[in-house]
Chain A
Amino acid sequence: MSLFQVRGGVKLSYRKELSSESPIVHMPTPKRVCIPLQQHVGSPAEPVVEVGQWVGKGQLIGKSGRGISANVHASTSGIVTAIEDHVAPHPSGLTQLTVVIEADGDDRWAELPPPITADFPLPATPKELNDRVAAAGIVGLGGAAFPSAVKLDMRYKYSIDTLVINGAECEPYITCDDRLMRESASEIIDGVRIMAYALAVEQIIIAIEANKPKAVKAMRDAAKADRSIRVVTVPTRFPMGSAQHLLLAVTGRETPADKRTAEVGAVVHNVATARAVSCAIRRGEPLISRVVTVSGFGVREPANVEVPLGTSVEDLLAFCGGLHPVPTLLINGGPMMGAPLPSVHAPVVKGSSGVLALTAAEINEGPESPCIRCGKCVSACPAGLVPVEMAQLIKRGDLQGAKAIGSQDCIACGSCSYICPSHIPLAHYFSFANGKLNALDRDARRQDRIRSLIQARNERAAREAEMKKAAAAARKAAKAATAAAKAAATETTAASTTQMEETT
């Protein structure tokens, strides 16, 4: 199959060999899990359990909130000991409402929905399948954590003809999807077929980067089950795993700026998400664990671990032999788009694809030197921006100028910062500027709202005054009219009397 040209991107040192040959190991349930009620894009889930209550494995503990949201389930059986603010895997170090469960060690399942084991075509409507996926709390496991059921619902809003399954895994170090494709290819393919059925699409494309030949082979073998599935090898070039860029590479469709891929008739899901969908439908199991790559030169035994959600990073690292006694930086996710972990007490969540312990040598952050305008950031930018110029404007404080040349089209992939020979933290400038611009926007919107409220109030006041005046005038007019009528009536009577008198 021919591929389409995608501009920009960078070749990285992938260092996937640290963990790519380690089969997925299951981590035993820790003594305690801390499950945040927001592990997804959208509004947080609302707690439906109480402190002191026993919960079974897979029991709903957080019900999907308003609008875009997702359910949250217990990852083991035990007693809820607290529902409190707890450190979350976010670089801000801000806390999040979290359900703390002391495990009873039995790992006893709660009552699960009945599995649908029949072969295709499934004896369930797309709507029923979507509801199952939503109930299972499945979100995009590639890292974005967008609720999957919302994406499957796109068919009701757009005409969707293509399902793209993202097995690119373009971040360095991360090998969880690679291992999953090698070890659970048939489960993934089953999930893909379920999603394709739910979406009623015509073509299914599974895209895998060329540096994972074993995964490609395993997936090709498993995909023989369905002839509408094509497994495609895409070039190893970051950020190939960006949904919009992957879609462009395999279909030639370019998603319009500020829009979803559904606008061009396609939905993109990650391979691990497909597997989670299969588990939810075939076994009735909600999303309560995920495969996490633990890697980096700072960790003793790099591995791919199936981790119960809510396990602390500390427990996970201990399971992987602990850290080398060298100064390291702990990263949640990949080194390109991941974020520093605020604490080892932060839990593993649905979006955690990796926990990396990186040494200074790996990060290789040189001292910043002047920009020599080499233009490497321009060639590397997959969004077609001019980072060198935007950074100059932002440095000068001209945020509007940066916005005018597209700073808000930045996808924060970090390719520019990676490639810069002067080690200028370009991506950092853009996230700063866009954060500020968003805040200004919010402010402007609030100002607008206040202004329109004041205007409405003034108008209302004016209208009321007008009405009062009109009413007063009307009353006066009515009074005058009555008086006039009376007078007229008197006159008429008088006149008629006169007439009568005259006629008489």
Chain B
Amino acid sequence: MSTLANRAGPFTHTVNTVTRTMLWVILALTPATAYGLWLYGWPAVMLFVITLVAALAFEAVMLVLLGQPVRARLLDGSALLTGWLLAMSLPPWAPWWIGVLGSLFAIVVAKHLFGGLGQNMFNPAMVARVVLLISFPVQLTMWVAPAPLGSTTTPSFGQALAYVSGYTPIPEHMSAATALGTLKTELSRGVSVEKTAAQLPQPQQLALGNESGSMGETSAMLLLAGGVLLLALRIISWHIPVSLLATLAVLAAVSHALHPDRFASMPIHLLSGAAMLGAFFIATDYVTSPVSRSGQLLFGAGIGALTWVIRALGGYPEGLAFAVVLMNALVPLIDRGFRPRVFGRSWRGTSLEAKSQPKIHI
């Protein structure tokens, strides 16, 4: 028996793998996704499937082109998760090519042109969302009122095919603005935020998600449940979600208290838009967030602050995707500046002072 091993320890390893991590994240997303698909019916289901299939197809093509192990990488779940997150952030009835183009930007440009899994600087799904929003503002702000499967308003499979293929435009009566969108539009017409907010869905309804919005972003409660699952499994730590939501909440609460007619209240900021999805599933993306706990706190707080600034002061009603991409750019800098303290050393790196002085013999 040969016992010579040409390797160093340890000789025991965790059962955790990259694939297992990705699959747990997908599982945590499932309740909110299922709710979104039910809420917006067949067009949403179709767009969701198209986006995921496109993401996997682009991933396969890129892996072949770059000479990487196709089977292992394709099955690691990372492309599936990217496609999934992108789909969840799209308007539920967007035409098919929005999903395909989004996957192309996410997988080909944002991921593989930056070096593939683990090497991308920017969150692929958010890059795709930002690119689509800037390039196709009409399609990306085409929101619809909830039309749950089984209800009278829900489109049939055939109608859904017509909408998603772009053959028939979405009927005017189905469209409905999001909460954040309504506030922005009304404010630009001189209507005070407070007045508009009274007409919006109440916080309870925002938490449940029965409102117009992106395919998988509306149910704050189900997203929170998924996030808590990831926290419990220690797949993510509390640092990014808590600092992100806390910063957003504090800025919203303080500004609302000072200028209620100009700034929306805290529940609106936390429960609508991409806040919950972003805090638990997007900002926590391993690859594009800092590795140290202190860095993660700063990163989360930065996204929370930028999101509020864009929403409250900028031109767009929602700003989380921009905030994530902007903070992604700072990650290398944060990683350099926020390392943990080394054992036995001060923060400045010098060896700690000895407490016991060497003995002096008399």
Contacts and interface: CB of A to CB of B under 8 A. Distances in A.
- A and B from one assembly? yes
Interface of A: 7, 10, 12-13, 91, 93, 155-161, 172, 244-245, 253-259, 262-265, 323, 328-331, 335-344, 356, 358, 362-367, 369-375, 378-379, 381-386, 388-389, 405-406, 409, 411, 414, 417-423, 425, 427-428, 431
B9 A338 contact: yes
A256 B20 contact: no
Contact of B344 (A259, A366, A369, A414): A259
B291 interface: yes
A253 B345 CA distance: 13
A90 to B, nearest CB: 11
B92 to A, nearest CB: 30
Given A363-B11, A414-B9, A421-B21, A244 B343 contact: yes
A93 B355 contact: no
B18 A372 contact: yes
B4 A93 contact: yes
Contact of B356 (A254, A265, A341, A382): A265
A374 B355 contact: no
B8 A431 contact: yes
B62 to A, nearest CB: 14
Given A370-B116, A421-B17, A428-B7, A336 B12 contact: yes
Q: Report whether over half of chain A's contact residues are helix, strand or loop; otherwise say mixed.
A: loop
Interface string B336-351: 0001111111000101
B3 A341 contact: yes
Contacts of B358: 157-158
B15 interface: yes
Nearest to B22: A372
B156 interface: no
A264 B356 contact: yes
B114 interface: no
| Residue picked from A373, A383, A405, most chain B C-beta under 10 Å | A373
Contacts of B296: 375
A93 to B, nearest CB: 6
A7 B14 CA distance: 19
Nearest to A366: B17
Contact of B354 (A91, A264, A339): A264
B237 interface: yes
Given A343-B3, A375-B289, A375-B290, 12 more contacts: A10-B14, A158-B356, A159-B356, A256-B351, A256-B353, A256-B354, A342-B4, A378-B291, A378-B293, A409-B345, A423-B17, A427-B10
Interface residues of B, number: 52
Given A344-B3, A386-B292, A255 B12 contact: no
B9 A330 contact: no
A183 B340 CA distance: 42
B355 A263 contact: yes
B344 A386 contact: no
A363 B11 CA distance: 5
13 contacts: A7-B343, A158-B357, A158-B359, A257-B351, A336-B11, A337-B9, A370-B119, A373-B286, A373-B287, A375-B289, A389-B335, A409-B344, A425-B7
A144 B290 CA distance: 36
Contacts of A265: 355-356
B5 interface: yes
A107 B358 CA distance: 46
Contact of B9 (A156, A339, A388, A419): A339
B72 A172 contact: no
Contact of B291 (A156, A356, A388): A388
> Nearest 8 pairs between A and B by C-beta?
A257-B344, A414-B10, A375-B291, A265-B356, A340-B5, A263-B354, A256-B352, A370-B118
Given A335-B12, A363-B11, A421 B20 contact: yes
B16 interface: yes
Contacts of A374: 21, 286
Interface of B: 1, 3-5, 7-18, 20-21, 72, 76, 78, 116-119, 237, 286-287, 289-293, 296, 335, 339-345, 349, 351-359
Contact of B11 (A155, A358, A406): A358
Nearest to B341: A384
A427 B11 CA distance: 11
A374 B117 CA distance: 12
A409 B5 CA distance: 26
A386 B291 contact: yes
B12 A362 contact: yes
A418 B359 contact: no
A385 to B, nearest CB: 6
Contact of A337 (B10, B13, B340): B10
Contact of A159 (B15, B76, B118, B359): B359
Contacts of B356: 158-161, 262-265
Contacts of B5: 91, 329, 340
A341 B290 CA distance: 39
B268 to A, nearest CB: 32
Nearest to B336: A389
Contact of A371 (B7, B8, B118, B359): B118
Given A375-B286, A383-B342, A13 B12 contact: yes
B18 A369 contact: yes
Nearest to A264: B355
A219 B28 CA distance: 46
**Max chain A CB contacts within 10 Å: which of B17, B78, B293, B296?**
B17
B342 A425 contact: no
Contacts of A420: 13-14
Contact of B118 (A172, A245, A372, A381): A372
A409 B342 CA distance: 8
A19 B87 CA distance: 52
A358 B20 CA distance: 24
B343 A384 contact: yes
B354 A386 contact: no
Contacts of A330: 3
A13 B10 CA distance: 13
A335 B9 contact: yes
Contact of A12 (B1, B12, B18, B339): B12
A156 B359 contact: yes
